[in-house]
Structure 1
Amino acid sequence: MYNLVLLAARPPEWTHEQFIDWWRDDHAALTYRLPGLRAWRHTAIDQALEKRSEGWDGLSVLSFDSPEDLDKALASPEWADAVAQVGNMKGRRIAVMGHEAQLFTG
């Protein structure tokens, strides 16, 4: 799998719960439509393990079969719609891409 990983913090005027609800409902409705999307995992962050990790609300991992499939998704009208919906929310995010390696299954 090739993943797009997004770590995000809510806009200052939103509560954590509002942001997670929006992410998993309104924003999800657009995200599900991305061409080539194979899986999507989302974590609502409840607490930080250490002080330097505080301030984040959620993490999404969007999985595609290949870097080329992710590139197609990022060039799609569906991605443009999702980006437009985020607009000027004033939250923060980190967005990175890379190959997944399965290191352990229980």
Structure 2
Amino acid sequence: MYNLVLLASRPPDWTHEQFIEWWRGPHAELTVRLPGLRAWRHTDVESALEPRSEGWDGVSVLSFDTEDDLRKALDSKEWADAVAQVGDMRGKRIAVVGGEREMFRA
């Protein structure tokens, strides 16, 4: 799998609950339309283990079969629609891409 990983914080005038509800609701309705999307996992960040990790509300991992599939999704109208919906929310975001390797499964 090839993943797009997004770590995000809410806009300053939103509560954590509002942000997660939006991310898993209206924003999810657009995200699931991405061409080639194979899986999407979302984590609602409840707490940080250390002070330097504070301030984040959620993590999304969007998975595609190949890097090419991910790049096609990022060039799509569906991605443009999702980005437009985010608009100028004023939250923070880290977005990274890379190949996945399963390291352990119980």
TM interval, shorter chain, is over 0.9
Q: TM-score, normalised by structure 2?
A: 1.00
- Unaligned 5+ residue runs, structure 1? none
The aligned counterpart of 1:57 is: 57
Residue 98 of structure 1 and its aligned partner are, at CA, apart by 0.3
CA distance in 2 between counterparts of 1:102 and 1:38 reads 16
TM-score (norm 1): 1.00
CA shift for structure 1 position 101: 0.4
In structure 1, the partner of 2:72 is: 72
Work out the number of aligned pairs and report it. 106
**Cα distance, 1:79 vs. partner?**
0.2
Letter paired with 1:73: A
Distance 1:82 1:8 in 2: 14
Which residue is equivalent to 1:104? Answer: 104
| Root mean square deviation of aligned Cα | 0.2
Matched, 1:15 2:9: no
SS of the equivalent of 1:41 reads strand
Per-residue CA deviations over 1:20-40 (Å, capped at 9, x if unaligned) read: 000000000000000000000
Percent identical pairs in the alignment equals 73
Distance (Å, rounded) in 1 between the aligned partners of 2:79 and 2:43: 21
What is the CA-CA distance between 1:70 and the residue it aligns to? 0.3
> What's the counterpart of residue 86 of structure 1?
86
**Distance in 2 between residues matched to 1:99 and 1:60, nearest whole Å:** 15
For 1:92 and 1:54, the matched residues in 2 are separated by 12
Shift of 1:4: 0.1
Write the distance in 1 (CA, Å) between the matches of 2:13 and 2:36. Answer: 34
**Which ranges of 4 or more aligned residues in structure 1 deviate by more than 3 Å?**
none
Please report how far the alpha carbon of residue 96 of structure 1 lies from its aligned counterpart in structure 2 after TM superposition: 0.1
Q: What is the rounded CA distance, in whole Å, between the counterparts of 1:67 and 1:100 in structure 2?
A: 11
